[in-house]
Amino acid sequence: MKTPRAFYQPLAIGAPSPYRELPVALERMIHFVPPHLEKLRAKVPDLISKVDVILGNLEDAIPADAKIDARRGFIRMAEENDFGKTGLWTRVNCLNSPWFLDDLMEIVPAVGNKLDVIMLPKVEGPWDIHYLDQLLAQLEARSGITKPILIHAILETAEGVKNVEAIAAASPRMHGMSLGPADLAASRGMKTTRVGGGHPDYSVLADAAGEAAPRTAYQQDLWHYTVAKMVDACLSYGLKPFYGPFGDFSDPAACESQFRNAFLMGCLGAWSLHPSQIELAKKVFSPDPAEVAFALKILEAMPDGTGAVMIDGKMQDDATWKQAKVIVDLARLVASKDPELAQVYGL
């Protein structure tokens, strides 16, 4: 294991120093754009004000014969737009693909100073992060990049889930992780063809109450274990956990419910693969105004965060003060970007 001092050293002479703390950023939705399609690239200027993060997708869903166009399209998209406070990410092809190396070799020198985060798919263990970390440092040094490009891992293989803590700890470049339920289902041999969400047959049957009484099946969350494991790994290393894709665009209620479960468990955002999912993510990953109002009451009642008070019949103490702070800190971040919500929150 590296010593703490070495952990924060740049990995190439001339590369920017790694961050000690992640930059503060609102990332409720990571909006996927297929950059080989000019028609969709043309929507980017309008999207910038509507989403928190724009991601140029180079990996799955991009046909093999469009991989180079997607990479070049991403570079153009990055060059031609001013993203302001909206994050600019790309999902590169996976490490063992024929495209990964050129994705890095072309994108970092061309637009590395505008790129906030590289999403790395199919991460199996810390060795994958170490490789990208070193390569990025070399490319940053050679291209005169002034701020470190962060790494976001997709958790989407059985081995990756097994190694999730080591992945989180692999580099100060780690930004966070997203659950990739489609690849993960395949890797684990799960019997579902859905991209995220539940499955009607994954359920618990109520006890039998006599021959005639109907028995109710209660659907369970297929992703609970993995999201929980990812949240613990991320938060213990100061990283950000995200739910990934929800593929059934015709079922916004199920998407909202999947996003909300992730939010309640600690996730900060999800992917939007369709414009209709942008508003859903915004709604779910901005804290509920009633919850913010109650959290503000707790903070006001316990100015130094210690002791015990009763509010609306509920006991509050140092721990609930911390819970309230999580919600109010997020609400303040949302309010700094969204004047409408700032007013609703009274912040």
Tell me whether residue 133 or residue 183 sits nearer to Mg ion (CB atom).
183
Interface with ligand GLV, residue 156, by CB under 6 A:
yes
CA distance 120 to 100: 10
Does 91 count as an annotated binding residue?
A: yes
Nearest approach, Cβ of 190 to ligand GLV (angstroms)? 12
Among 58, 149, 154, 330, binds ligand GLV (CB under 6 A): 154
Residues 191-210 close enough to bind ligand GLV by CB under 6 A: 195
Phi-psi group of 288: left, alpha or beta (phi > 0 → left; psi -120 to 50 → alpha; rest → beta): beta
Phi, psi of 310 (to 5 degrees): -105, 130
Length of the chain: 347
Handedness of CA 27, 33, 35, 41 (dihedral sign): negative
Does 183 count as an annotated binding residue?
A: yes
Interface with ligand GLV, residue 34, by CB under 6 A:
no
Residues 207-266 close enough to bind ligand GLV by CB under 6 A: 244-245
Among 35, 87, 180, 241, binds ligand GLV (CB under 6 A): 180
Query: CB within 8 A of 279, min separation 6: which ones?
Result: none
Total chain residues near ligand GLV (CB under 6 A): 10
Tell me whether residue 94 or residue 341 sits nearer to ligand GLV (CB atom).
94
Tell me whether residue 126 or residue 180 sits nearer to ligand GLV (CB atom).
180
CA distance 119 to 87: 12
What percentage of the chain's residues is helix, strand, coil (to nearest 5)? 45, 15, 40
Residue 245 binding partner per list ligand GLV, Mg ion, none, with a CB distance cut-off of 5 to 8 Å that depends on partner kind: ligand GLV
Interface with Mg ion, residue 180, by CB under 5 A:
yes
CA distance 307 to 304: 9
CA distance 244 to 155: 9
Task: Note the residues at the interface with ligand GLV (CB under 6 A).
Answer: 60, 154, 156, 180-183, 195, 244-245
Binding-site residue ranges for substrate: 91, 156
Task: Note the residues at the interface with Mg ion (CB under 5 A).
Answer: 156, 180, 183
